[in-house]
Amino acid sequence: MTVLVTGGAGYIGAHVVRLLVERGTRVVVVDDVSTGARDRVSGAPLEALDLTDVRAADRLVDIAERHDVDAIIHLAAKKQVGESMLRPTWYYRQNVGGLANVLDAVERAGIERFVFSSSAAVYGAPDRAVVDETVDTAPINPYGETKLIGEWMLRDVTRVCGLRAVSLRYFNVAGAGWPELGDPKALNLVTIVLDRMERGERPIVFGRDFDTPDGTGIRDYVHVLDLAEAHLAALDHLRHDGPGFDVFNVGTGASASVLEVIGQIELASGRRLQAEFVERREGDPAALIADPTRINAELGWRGRRNLPEVVASAWQAHRYRIDRDRAAGARA
């Protein structure tokens, strides 16, 4: 039995791969290495492949047969909301087109289990702060739309072949399970603030007039290692007969404001930060928090690590990267 992990060289994928390798599961990584890195796959074999390539499905069938693949965790995708608004066609091609090729291969190779990387972005800006999986999906950007379409595609495929699938709707992922596997890109609050700190710049806070206790946006921050564990729980769940397709929120149910996150970064780093407040960012809901009841009950998964642990691990990974880059610079 082998698990094929697409995007296994990326930030979240590398954590999933390491957990699988650590528990003795055979893994093959498929990644185009556009944002991921070869040294992040914990020794698993890596097949370099662009999933949007016209021959991608053929290549995947071949890889599945050579490695005796019986399950897929599909994480390979583009994930920048702002970029998706500027390049919608490209996002559909990457995320929807890429998934179509993967599902083509799933049908042809007779893969039975599938875990899909979805997002809280499928909810858009809902009229309540705490959302469970029954809340209407109404994405407000192409990125979220590609994830919702991905869920529909999967659901449809499970209706026509023996595939069983789970879609995991990630909330705000941050931190690092190991310092060398930290998020290499500064695209979300924690990494953006750390990145700015390094350049001697103040953190920017989008909006201080939300209807929240301190006026700043509230989110549900989930440790990337907890998130990775959710993928393994989903994979195990799919071993048993069950519904063809199911969706689960992956969040803690706990919430934190932007100022609370910045406060934790001050604690972890020992540095004082003076936030700069600017206008709200377009499309930002005041609060978005997971109701994790379903995943707690059905997968037996819960987010075990709290915000201080999320931020402290992100800080350690940040320091690790700075030291490594400095050492590389000194050698050059």
Contact positions vs ligand WQD (CB under 6 A): 79, 81, 119-121, 170, 172, 188-189, 192, 204-206, 217, 219, 258, 281, 284
Closest separation in Å from C-beta 121 to ligand WQD: 3
Q: Which is nearer to ligand WQD, 61 or 258 (CB)?
A: 258
Closest separation in Å from C-beta 273 to ligand WQD: 12
Q: Which is nearer to ligand WQD, 119 or 313 (CB)?
A: 119
Q: Which residue among the candidates 11, 91, 123, 143 is catalytic per the annotation? A: 143
Closest separation in Å from C-beta 6 to ligand WQD: 16
User: What tokens appear for 72 in the block?
Assistant: 């897929």
Q: Which is nearer to ligand WQD, 207 or 244 (CB)?
A: 207
Closest separation in Å from C-beta 215 to ligand WQD: 11
Q: Which residue is nearest to ligand WQD (CB)?
A: 217
- CB 311, CB 190: distance < 8 Å: yes
User: What tokens appear for 229 in the block?
Assistant: 């564990």
Residue 66, Cβ neighbours under 10 Å: how many? 12
Q: Check the CA dihedral 297-299-300-304 and report its sign.
A: negative
Taking the C-alpha atoms of residue 70 and residue 231, their distance in angstroms, rounded to an integer, is 15
| Known active-site residue 143 | yes
User: What tokens appear for 1 in the block?
Assistant: 């039995």
Q: Which is nearer to ligand WQD, 25 or 35 (CB)?
A: 35
DSSP structure class, residue 1: -
Residue 289, Cβ neighbours under 10 Å: how many? 22
Taking the C-alpha atoms of residue 170 and residue 121, their distance in angstroms, rounded to an integer, is 8
**Residues forming the active site:** 143
